[in-house]
A = this chain, B = another copy of it.
Amino acid sequence: MYEYNQNFFKDTQGYLFAVQGEKIEKYRRTHPNADLISLGIGDVTLPLAPVIVQALVKASEDMGNAQLFHGYGPYAGYEWLRSDIIEHDFKSRGVSLDLDEIFVSDGAKSDCGNLCELFSASNRIAVCDPTYPAYIGANILYGRGGTFDMQKDVWDDIVYLPCTAENAFVPELPEKTADIIYLCFPNNPTGVMISKERLQRWVDYAVKNRALIIYDAAYEAYITDTDAVHSVYECEGAKECAVEIRSYSKVAGFTGMRMGYIVIPKTVRNEQGSLNALWGRRLGVKYNGAPYVIQRAAQAVYSSEGHNQVMEQIAYYMNNVRYIVQELKKLGYTVYGGKNSPYAWLQTPHGMSSWDFFDYLLDKAHVIGTPGSGFGPSGRGYFRLTGFGSYENTVKAVDRIRKYIG
């Protein structure tokens, strides 16, 4: 008789965005005429930039031409894309990388999850609290959670790194040693950035404790501070202890296109060997590369025209989130973020719980946000709104909050 992986039965309340989606679906069914505005799940709303569409159409036409058709591609992605990545995302920041240190994938969520396969169950992971829930969700499936404490809302084998107003949402080094540390900056959900000096402290910690940092830089393109660190590899020693995850979802509106990449320097290794080689083995056995046409579309992001067009879109979203932060502050809300990221992180009014505020906002204002408690216990009493709506909807949503919530 076949038997399941028991870790799949370790469940809590389900994946945040799935639960949120069900609630919204139910509300829609019972209120079919409600004009809902979503500032909830971090999905983009602007269409792909013209240069990207052109590249996608051209690649699609290539696929119908015997001379230009592309079948199976390299598991790690085409070299022309990987060399553009190195040139534009890293060399420009003073970071040098080799082609075989870049692995193109079908997105950061997949990479986050799949990385978990490479490690033994015994590793202790550390996550920011609040955090993007997929980091924990995937580790649970690989037996690294321990037991879930319903009251504290934590897994007892996981090290939570509180990110609160008191520490300006930047985590302190942990007391309990962690083997694998997830850091995401600009942060989802709080929207804050880490300084290079603080990030260097984490790199030093990892080198000293022979820990691995998984640095999620999915929102890197939203950084506006001129002195901010864009890649973990700007820190000394990071090439010995860190992998970096990037995504085209938020840079170029690729949420429905599915593409990201992971950087694994060959110098990231422990006594057992090189992580880069392990990832390569995984790809050889379980993956066949990302679609040719999507890789061509991603390449267009690096053309000067493409860069200008996506930066215009990012400026549009940033304008939205700045508007949210500014107007909610006027209403007396305590709001963070909205500077180097598309997220506003606010305290719920009148001490409401995150989910109560979700329901209240949905019902009274027909505005969808994301409950902070879904990102971890330190997110309790917080709420996330995003700048990914249209400007018109953003203004309308804020108007409704002003009118119906106050």
Q: A residues touching B (Cβ–Cβ < 8 Å)?
A: 1-6, 8-9, 11, 14-15, 18, 41, 43-50, 52-53, 56-57, 60-61, 63-66, 68-73, 106-107, 109-110, 112-114, 117-120, 122-123, 134, 137-138, 140-141, 179-180, 209-212, 253, 255-258, 270, 272-273, 275, 278, 281-282, 284-294
Q: How far is the CA of A44 from the CA of B70 in the complex (A)?
A: 9
Could you tell me if B63 and A256 are in contact, using CB atoms closer than 8 angstroms? Answer: yes
Set of chain B residues within 8 Å of A48, measured between Cβ atoms: 63-64, 69
* A-B contacts besides A1-B210, A117-B141, A256-B292, 8 pairs, CB < 8 Å: A2-B210, A3-B122, A53-B64, A69-B253, A71-B253, A72-B256, A110-B287, A257-B292
Contact B256 A73 (CB under 8 A): yes
**CB of A297 to closest CB in B, whole Å:** 8
With A63-B257, A110-B288, A285-B134 in contact, is A118–B4 under 8 Å at CB? yes
Interchain CB contact (< 8 A) of A256 among B45, B71, B107, B255: B71
Residues of B within 8 A of A285 (CB): 15, 113, 134, 137-138, 140-141
Residue of B nearest to A74 (CB): B21
A14 to B277 CA separation, bound complex (whole angstroms): 12
Name A120's contact: one of B4, B43, B288 (CB within 8 Å).
B4
CB–CB B179/A284 < 8 A: no
CA distance A43 to B73 in the complex (A): 10
Q: How far is the CB of A145 from chain B (nearest CB, A)?
A: 12
A5-B120 in contact given A64-B53, A65-B47 (Cβ < 8 Å): yes
Name the residue among A123, A257, A292 with the largest chain B CB count within 10 angstroms.
A257
Quick one: which of A5, A9, A107 has the most chain B CB within 10 A? A5
For this complex, 20 residue pairs linking A to B, each with C-beta atoms less than 8 Å apart, are A2-B179, A4-B273, A5-B120, A5-B278, A8-B118, A14-B284, A43-B72, A45-B71, A47-B69, A56-B60, A57-B61, A60-B293, A71-B255, A110-B287, A112-B286, A117-B117, A138-B285, A140-B285, A256-B291, A257-B293
- Chain B residues with Cβ below 8 Å from A8 are 118, 278, 281-282
Among A43, A47, A255, A290, chain B packs the most CB atoms within 10 A around the CB of A47
* Contact A63-B56, Cβ < 8 Å, known A258-B288, A285-B141, A294-B291: yes
Residues of B within 8 Å of A5, CB to CB, are 117-120, 278
Q: Is the CB of B43 within 8 A of A3?
A: no
Q: Nearest 3 CB-CB pairs, A to B?
A: A113-B286, A53-B64, A137-B285
Are A47 and B64 touching (Cβ within 8 A)?
Answer: yes
CB neighbours (8 Å) of A119 from chain B are 2-5
Known: A8-B282, A48-B64, A110-B286. A56 touches B272 (CB 8 A): no
Residue from B3, B4, B109, B210 within 8 A of A286 (CB atoms): B109
Q: How far is the CA of A272 from the CA of B65 in the complex (A)?
A: 50
Contacts of A14 in B (CB 8 A): 284
> Chain B's nearest CB lies how many Å from the CB of A347?
27
Complex CA distance for A179 and B43, rounded to whole angstroms: 41
A105's nearest neighbour on chain B, judged by CB, is B106
Indicate if the CB atoms of A270 and B4 lie closer than 8 Å. yes
Q: For residue A3, which residues in chain B have a CB less than 8 angstroms away from its CB? A: 119-120, 122-123, 179, 270, 272
